[in-house]
Amino acid sequence: MLTLKAFHIIFMVTWFAGLFYLPRLYIYHRAAEDPVSRDRFQIMEHRLWVIMTIGAALTLASGLWLIAMAWWPMPGWLHAKLALVAALFAYHFYCLRLNRLFRVDRMPHSDRFLRIFNELPALALVAIVLLAVLKPF
């Protein structure tokens, strides 16, 4: 069980590295003015999305395995954590939508939106870690 928890954390760190960095790439991409830079950002964004998707899938699989092994019935804090994880998956797939919009040069969002969007995973991470460690309810 501890080995599985350790791998769950490793996979989660991989996923969050992408969640933290990909929106930052969007900010740089939006500011890029030459076609060579834009093309480079598209490649970087796609590759990072693939890597973080692997991390997300392994995080989900190991998390579900942990739940199946130990937490029935599920405590309230775990319900809250899973709701935040579901929101992170929505965020994750919205990143894919943004990748596709950048690919066709149709980014509708402002620089300000992208900067705020970039901060959302950090807020989710704080909440998830606090729920998992403190188990408040």
Three-state DSSP state, 104: coil
The rounded distance, in Å, linking the Cα atoms of 48 and 41 is: 10
Mean pLDDT of 32-58: 97
What is the per-residue pLDDT for 80?
A: 97
| pLDDT above 70 as % of the chain | 100
- CA geometry: angle at 55 spanning 53 and 57, to 5°? 70
Q: How distant, in Å, are the alpha carbons of 28, 36, 49, 102 from that of 91?
A: 19, 28, 12, 16
Beta carbons of 105 and 29 less than 8 angstroms apart: no
The rounded distance, in Å, linking the Cα atoms of 33 and 16 is: 28
Three-state DSSP state, 137: coil
pLDDT at 73 over 90: no
Question: How far does CA 134 lie from the centroid of its chain?
Answer: 22
What is the per-residue pLDDT for 13?
A: 98
Q: How confident is the model at residue 37 (pLDDT cuts 50, 70, 90)?
A: very high
Annotated binding site for heme: 8, 81
Annotated binding site: 8, 81
What is the per-residue pLDDT for 124?
A: 98
HSE toward the beta carbon, residue 58, CA cutoff 13 A: 19
Mean pLDDT of the chain: 96
4-18, 62-76, 112-126: which range is least confident on average? 62-76
